[in-house]
A and B are shown apart, each in its own frame.
Chain A
């Protein structure tokens, strides 16, 4: 029975845990966290087993209520959604292990229960988006996760409600664009099912409302994934949100938008449509390239570590946009692999920022020095490794993203894009070495002792429950890096949409 239900199980698991948490917490408040953690663990296990199931049995479809599509809602588990779901659940699990102490430190106790309930709703939304085969259902999940996210951002420090409001406005606009796009498509096709839509669009062709629908959907997903210049909500939201929120949404939140983009562009509209009929792919590639440069340059100018990482996310989303926009198999593989790679790197970096905040009371770059590193050697080492990966040095994951993306640009003879990718790794080196230099080479400030005593901040290295997830992610940067050929050849080439198939040697 499980195999046929597999696509629907994970979103429902999170949804029900989200509802269960407030009830269970009536008895015991601490239960909220452990339920959330258990749900993430079960979901991760299910997502990993889904990968093997898909590899064995091919795409799985589940019809809600037994209604056949296009009338009923269909959930589809194909290699792409299996991969995405494994990435978001595994990263969320690791981040949640880390979240217990940071949530305790960041939020008053009465907010813990709603916080974890919202996390569950958000995860339900993320997983729903990845699994659903229905355009309108995707909209519903998009709103579920966005609404949960607004709340998760707004509980941060003093400036977070403003950041959340900004995110709310832009996120709503994004959602509306997407919904309008779905409406236009429904008008011209009479269907909401993705597979069905694909068949109908092949007949309908490039009618004006179809083109408008495509553009609206790209705008909607572009805002959700913070594709330059639609990234306006991201820096503030990441900076002012509580540590647990920013380490959850930075690695996986924007990737959902990227997933939607890939799904719509290549699986519904099809390669020819987005490159020849309406050449939106090129536009996305240029926006991605611009985002890479803009994000990197802005990251250099930041004094707050979380804000630097936020702008770096804008740049990294640019990589994904660029890879999608190249519209060739190698670029797309690079983009999808980068979803995983960037998820791991950015989660690791945000956990490091969280450790700094918890142990030092801040994560301001100018205040970091060799004293910080002496107190927190492992956290600093994790930061260094993740930074080297962001720069793209082998054998870390960052190198392999760069490798596939470089192959993709060269395949298209897009020398400008190749140059952007190469230059961006040097820009990454500039802003990450700025921090590394401080951590390892700047003599500790003399007045450190006094200030700590006054702030009564915990000294020394972060607690094991904080350190372990950080180090697990750091180690995964090398392990996944060396396994990339297995992942790409075993799983990712299988999802490549029609027209973009490739056989790798």
Chain B
């Protein structure tokens, strides 16, 4: 495998900007919903296409790179489409296409207010997410990370109820605090090395950092990216943010925003600190302890939620820490498992959220206890839900099995078989909080469902597609697997 080389290319920049360019068009066509949604779909398709165009290069070890200008002296505004970034951008932009379709069905179905604002900020969020994926250095990363924070806020408070406003406050309090910690961490790193470009093996690799610098610095970074990755005890904004419209919960709070957090963690762990430094000061142990706590506690809390979206949110909290755990194990196979889980959890969890939204639009039900018999009236939706649930439990041949398998075997391979046990236990807990929903909907008699049918095709088609995608990726993980392998090879050698 050849060493990655940077190739000047405008593609990463275009991939970031295309959805931003759609924003004024969306705003201008606010009176014409069909045209407005056409802009969203066109931007989503163009974005996905641009990211796809970057894929062959990333797989071949050619990194498309854009260097713009100095943001602050010594740090350029620069984008690099390296394999890790392409993987994340692929997941986010690909699922945006489906979420856009779903959004149309959802907002029309509920006759939501302020749909223009909704679609406009959705587009800004996606620009920021792909910007995060391709950020070549910490300052560029922070720039997009903070834009994502702010652009998500109008979506969280979309309903404008008292509950939504207070959820928005909580969301801002958590994410803005995280932002300032990240800025402090980046400033400190800048003074230490004078260079903030992400490097496989770490910015600090050429430096002998003393423990009393490395540990607090790492904790600052962890505070910065830990909020969006919902590592306990920094997770509590996520269940509260479920007050947002379901497509927002689906794409942002299961894929883009939270994955931007764990993606940031991978960047910090592998590309800022580097494996050596992580192990030298026991920083990996800190991460492992936090991840295990979050995995188990998140699952246990999910068991107790009756509100379907909150249950899914706690499940997200727990699954995000799979990725944290995979990063913390500091080995090639573990990282491959973590990155696969980043992609696979996205397809599975977005399916479940889409289902929750379809049930809400169609039946106006949002609690697990009200779902008896829904499988009979909404067979496609609940079948997709069942598929997603089984995937999250780790049942082969769904994709969730693959990522868990890699994580588990890496845990054994790095001499920590107990962690494999944690993963198995968590799989059982997943089954305990997800499968009863499936059982309820298909095998219990429901009431008040007479004359109800399946939700509209705008809602059902995307969720069936994501469910099928989970299955297909489980059977043919080839491309994503090779991408993740590229990242791991760049860090740990093949």
Contacts and interface: CB of A to CB of B under 8 A. Distances in A.
A388 interface: yes
B147 A425 contact: no
B70 A433 contact: no
Given A388-B150, A485-B73, A505-B74, A441 B157 contact: yes
Contact of A393 (B150, B157, B160, B194): B150
A313 B160 CA distance: 31
A407 B190 CA distance: 8
Contacts of A147: none
A116 B179 CA distance: 44
B146 A393 contact: yes
Contacts of B180: 392, 422, 425-426
A484 interface: yes
A411 B74 CA distance: 16
B86 to A, nearest CB: 24
B52 to A, nearest CB: 28
The binding surface of chain A is classed by DSSP as: helix
B72 interface: yes
Interface stretch (B7-15, B181-189, B314-322, B399-407): B181-189
Nearest to B146: A393
Contacts, number: 77
Contact of A395 (B143, B149, B177): B143
| Tier of interface size on chain B | 20 to 34
Contact of B184 (A395, A422, A504): A422
B209 interface: no
B420 interface: no
Contacts of A394: 71, 139, 142-143, 146-147
Contacts of B177: 426
A482 B71 contact: yes
Interface stretch (A155-163, A242-250, A398-406): A398-406
Interface in B30-72: 69-72
B377 interface: no
Nearest to A423: B180
Interface in B143-165: 143, 146-147, 149-150, 154, 157, 160, 165
A425 B176 contact: yes
A441 B165 contact: yes
A97 B356 CA distance: 54
A404 B168 CA distance: 30
B150 A406 contact: no
Query: Which of B176, B177, B181 has the largest number of chain A CB atoms within 10 A?
Result: B176
B143 A489 contact: no
B219 interface: no
**SS class of chain B's interface: helix, strand, loop or mixed?**
helix
B157 A433 contact: no
B187 A488 contact: no
B207 to A, nearest CB: 16
B440 interface: no
Contacts of A400: 72
B290 interface: no
Contacts of A395: 71, 143
B73 to A, nearest CB: 4
Contacts of B190: 407
Given A393-B150, A426-B177, A406 B71 contact: no
A402 B180 CA distance: 10
A78 B146 CA distance: 37
A287 B29 CA distance: 52
Given A403-B187, A407-B190, A505-B194, A486 B176 contact: no
A74 to B, nearest CB: 33
A433 B184 contact: no
A489 B150 CA distance: 29
A290 B246 CA distance: 44
Contacts of A404: 72
B181 A433 contact: no
Interface in A368-411: 388, 391-395, 399-400, 402-404, 406-407, 410-411
Interface string B177-205: 10111011001101100110000000000
B72 A485 contact: yes
Contact of A489 (B70, B142, B147, B183): B70
Contacts of B149: 393
Given A395-B143, A441-B165, A485 B71 contact: yes
A429 interface: yes
Contacts of B139: 394
Nearest to A436: B153
A504 B71 CA distance: 13
A418 B71 contact: no
Interface in A429-449: 429, 433, 437, 440-441
Contacts of B71: 394-395, 482, 484-485
Interface string B363-393: 0000000000000000000000000000000
A504 B73 contact: yes
Nearest to B157: A441
A441 B70 contact: no
B73 A489 contact: yes
A422 B187 CA distance: 12
Contacts of B150: 388, 393
Given A426-B176, A484-B72, A407 B187 contact: yes
Given A394-B146, A395-B143, A426-B176, A402 B72 contact: no
A404 B72 CA distance: 9
Contacts of A504: 73-74
B69 A485 contact: yes
Contacts of A433: 169, 172
Max count, chain B CB within 10 A of own CB: residue among A404, A418, A482, A505: A505
B191 A486 contact: no
A484 B263 CA distance: 29
B191 A411 contact: yes
A4 to B, nearest CB: 33
A488 B176 contact: no
Contacts of B188: 410
A164 B183 CA distance: 41
A88 to B, nearest CB: 25
B165 A437 contact: yes
A404 B179 CA distance: 16
A399 B181 CA distance: 13
Interface string A345-389: 000000000000000000000000000000000000000000010
Contacts of B147: 393-394
A470 B72 CA distance: 26
Contacts of B176: 391, 425-426, 429
B73 A393 contact: no
Contacts of A486: 70
A492 B143 CA distance: 23
Interface in B335-385: none
Most buried by A among B147, B177, B187, B188: B187
A130 B160 CA distance: 49
A426 B190 CA distance: 23
A429 B172 contact: yes
Contacts of B74: 504-505
B129 to A, nearest CB: 16
Given A388-B150, A485-B73, A393 B179 contact: yes
**Which 8 pairs show the lowest CB-CB distances between chains A and B?**
A505-B74, A485-B70, A504-B73, A422-B180, A406-B187, A394-B143, A393-B146, A485-B73
Interface of B: 69-74, 139, 142-143, 146-147, 149-150, 154, 157, 160, 165, 168-169, 172-173, 176-177, 179-181, 183-184, 187-188, 190-191, 194-195
Given A394-B143, A422-B181, A426-B177, 16 more contacts: A393-B150, A394-B71, A403-B72, A407-B190, A407-B191, A410-B188, A411-B191, A418-B184, A422-B183, A441-B157, A441-B160, A482-B69, A482-B71, A484-B71, A486-B70, A489-B70
19 contacts: A391-B176, A393-B179, A395-B71, A395-B143, A402-B183, A403-B72, A406-B183, A418-B184, A422-B181, A429-B172, A441-B160, A441-B165, A482-B69, A485-B69, A485-B73, A486-B70, A488-B72, A504-B73, A505-B73
